Chains A and B, each alone.
Chain A
Amino acid sequence: MLSFGDEIARCLVAVWFLYAGISKLAAPDALRSTLLALRVPHPGLSAIAVPALEVMAAVFLLAAPRLLLTLVLLGMLVVGFVGAAASALIRGVKVRCACLGRASEGELGWSQLGMAPIWTLVGVWAYFASTSLQGRVGLISAAAMSLVIAVIALRQLLPLWQESRVIVGAAGQERRFW
């Protein structure tokens, strides 16, 4: 039962990082603004590197939880997020963070600090105690989760595309008849 709960927690954290990473890779400008506000060096490069690390951490968490690299990747992310949140809180600066994509933009701070112990616990637990969902099964799970995210994106995309078609049609109003 404990093992099952452990796997669920690991999958949830992986989905979180996968969705967060893919969302940020899709719209890196939002993260770039956050990094600029935090005075992070090379914000353009970091805006790609951070979500790429998140995706990698998610895939490794599913496919190779007992690999030291997985723990290192998760550790880097947790340290980065805690550092960013602490920096914003200490300086008293309100920094907008599109941590789960532009649609869910919120303020950087306590929520990241609150999530950090959970991410750490799951990563450490997975490293020492994980037994299943490794290798092939883990990779298939990562691909399946990415596809689910793609389907979620497609469901958001269709109404926006239809709306846009209506408005583009409306742009054809004419000021003269002939």
Chain B
Amino acid sequence: MIAILVIMVILAVLMAVCLLALVDQYRTLDIIRRDLGINDTPQPVSYPQSAPVSPSGIGLPFHLNNRRRVIVLFLSTTCSTCRGIASALHGFVPDDLWIVVESRSEETAIGWLGGVGMEIGAVTYDQGAIASQLELDITPAAFIYEDGTLIRAQTVPSFRQLKLLLGTEVTASASTA
């Protein structure tokens, strides 16, 4: 009996050591990420000064010009983070969000959208024409328009960053949809 209890103590101690070692590893990773500046931090995206300032100017629907604030989110069918962000929306596109899907072909885009639970009608499909006007070569990226005017652009490294861009109320409805 005593031998079993001793083994139990040893195993319990080992388990605690392993778990605390994992905690330490994650903390170390966090320190490394912070030092390298690769945490979940959005980076500004540059665009040409001559780029059209309104959403319709780059080929997006005209009604977006009239919205007080709209975020045009560029996702690519070849980027894993884009898939994660699109999946996290659960097929629901909030009012202040417009998605542009970059893809080689319409079939690929339709297949990709089906995989993330979205319909082609709810987004704009682009073969590079829209992105090239903004000289955009990174996804996921967000272009923020206010009153029909381009204010700034940034990368969207995670769904969490998209939530921050969209605001709490809209996100709450998105996550419950």
Which A positions have Cβ atoms within 8 angstroms of B?
18, 22-23, 25-27, 55, 59, 101-103, 135-136, 139-140, 142-144, 146-147, 149-150, 153-154, 156-157, 160-161, 163-164, 166-167, 169-178
Which of A27, A140, A146 has a CB less than 8 Å from the CB of B13?
A146
Measured between beta carbons, the chain A residues less than 8 angstroms from B30 are 160, 163-164
Q: Given contacts A160-B23, A176-B137, list 4 more A-B pairs with CB under 8 A.
A: A146-B9, A153-B16, A163-B26, A164-B29
* Cβ-closest chain A residue relative to B101: A177
User: How near does chain B come to A58, taking the closest CB pair, in angstroms?
Assistant: 9
Measured between beta carbons, the chain A residues less than 8 angstroms from B157 are 170, 173
Measured in the bound complex, the distance between the Cα atoms of B64 and A102 in whole Å is 52
User: How near does chain B come to A60, taking the closest CB pair, in angstroms?
Assistant: 11
Query: What are 28 contact pairs spanning A and B, CB under 8 A?
Result: A22-B13, A22-B16, A25-B17, A26-B20, A136-B1, A139-B6, A143-B11, A144-B12, A150-B16, A150-B19, A153-B19, A153-B20, A153-B22, A153-B23, A157-B26, A167-B40, A170-B40, A172-B84, A174-B78, A174-B79, A174-B138, A174-B139, A176-B78, A176-B137, A177-B102, A177-B128, A177-B139, A178-B102
Measured in the bound complex, the distance between the Cα atoms of B29 and A177 in whole Å is 29
Asked if B133 is at the interface of the complex by the 8 Å CB criterion, the answer is: no
Measured in the bound complex, the distance between the Cα atoms of B21 and A160 in whole Å is 13
* Cβ-closest chain A residue relative to B136: A177
Measured between beta carbons, the chain B residues less than 8 angstroms from A26 are 16-21, 23-24
Q: Across the interface, do A147 and B158 meet the contact criterion of CB distance under 8 Å?
A: no
Q: Number of B residues contacting the other chain (C-beta, 8 Å)?
A: 48
Q: Across the interface, do A166 and B40 meet the contact criterion of CB distance under 8 Å?
A: yes
Measured in the bound complex, the distance between the Cα atoms of B155 and A170 in whole Å is 10
Given A177-B128, A177-B137: A166 in contact with B160 (beta carbons within 8 A): yes
